[in-house]
Amino acid sequence: MNAPGKQPDNVSVGPPLWLLAELTYRCPLQCPYCSNPLDFAQTERELTTEQWVSVLRQGRAMGAAQLGFSGGEPLVRQDLPELIAEARDLGYYTNLITSGLGLNSAKVDAFAEAGLDHIQVSFQASDPELNNAVAGSRKAFDQKLAMARAVKEAGYPMVLNFVIHRHNIHQMNDIIELCDRLGADYVELATCQYYGWAFKNREGLMPSRGQLEKAEAEVNAYRARLQDAGSAMKLIFVTPDYYEERPKACMNGWGSLFLTVAPDGTALPCHSARILPIDFPNVTEMELRDVWYNSPGFNHYRGDSWMPEPCRSCDEKAKDFGGCRCQAYMLTGNADNADPVCGKSPHHDRILAARRAADHATAGIEELTFRNADNSRLFYRG
Amino acid sequence: MAKTPKLRRGFRFQWEPAQESYVLLYPEGMVKLNGSAGAILKEVDGERNVDSIVASLEQQFPDAGPLGKDVEEFLQDAEKQHWIELV
Ligand code: SF4
Ligand code: SF4
- Give percent of chain A with pLDDT exceeding 70: 97
Asked if the C-beta of B86 comes within 8 angstroms of chain A's C-beta atoms, the answer is no
Question: What distance separates the 2 farthest-apart alpha carbons in chain B?
Answer: 38
If you average pLDDT over every residue of chain A, what do you get?
A: 91
Respond yes or no on whether the N-terminal peptide bond of residue A115 is cis (omega within 30° of 0): no
- Which pLDDT belongs to residue A134? 80
Q: How far, in Å, is the centroid of ligand 2 from the Cα of A29?
A: 37
Mean pLDDT across the stretch B21-49? 94
Mean pLDDT across the stretch B3-25? 94
Residue A365, pLDDT above cutoff 90: no
> Could you say which of 3.90.1820.10, 3.20.20.70, 3.40.50.720, 3.30.9.10 is the CATH number of the domain covering A18-243?
3.20.20.70
Among protein residues, the one with the nearest Cα to ligand 1's atom 2 is A31
- Which pLDDT belongs to residue A199? 85
Give the pLDDT band (50/70/90) at residue A240: confident
Residues of A in contact with B26 (CB under 8 A): 93, 118, 157
What is the number of the ligand closest to the CA of A102?
1
Cβ neighbours around B54 below 10 Å, total: 22
Mean pLDDT across the stretch A30-54? 88
CA dihedral A153, A116, B31, A249 (to 10 degrees): -100
- Ligand 2 site residues (CB inside 6 A) read A 246-247, 310-311, 314, 316-317, 320, 322-323, 338-339, 342, 344
- Which pLDDT belongs to residue A10? 65
Asked if the C-beta of B29 comes within 8 angstroms of chain A's C-beta atoms, the answer is yes
DSSP-assigned letter for residue A250? G
Asked if the C-beta of B20 comes within 8 angstroms of chain A's C-beta atoms, the answer is no
Residue B31, pLDDT above cutoff 80: yes
Question: What distance separates the 2 farthest-apart alpha carbons in chain A?
Answer: 58
- Which pLDDT belongs to residue A232? 85
Query: pLDDT digits over A59-105, tens only?
Result: 999 999 999 999 989 999 999 999 999 999 999 999 999 988 888 99
Kindly tell me the sign of the dihedral angle through the C-alpha atoms of A237, A247, A376, A169.
positive
What are the sequence ranges of the domains in chain A?
18-243, 250-360
Give the pLDDT band (50/70/90) at residue A2: very low
- Which pLDDT belongs to residue B41? 97
Give the pLDDT band (50/70/90) at residue A198: confident
Q: Which residue has the higher pLDDT, A369 or A356?
A: A356
Query: pLDDT digits over A278-306, tens only?
Result: 999 999 999 999 999 999 999 999 999 99
- Which pLDDT belongs to residue A1? 41
Q: How far, in Å, is the centroid of ligand 2 from the Cα of A266?
A: 29
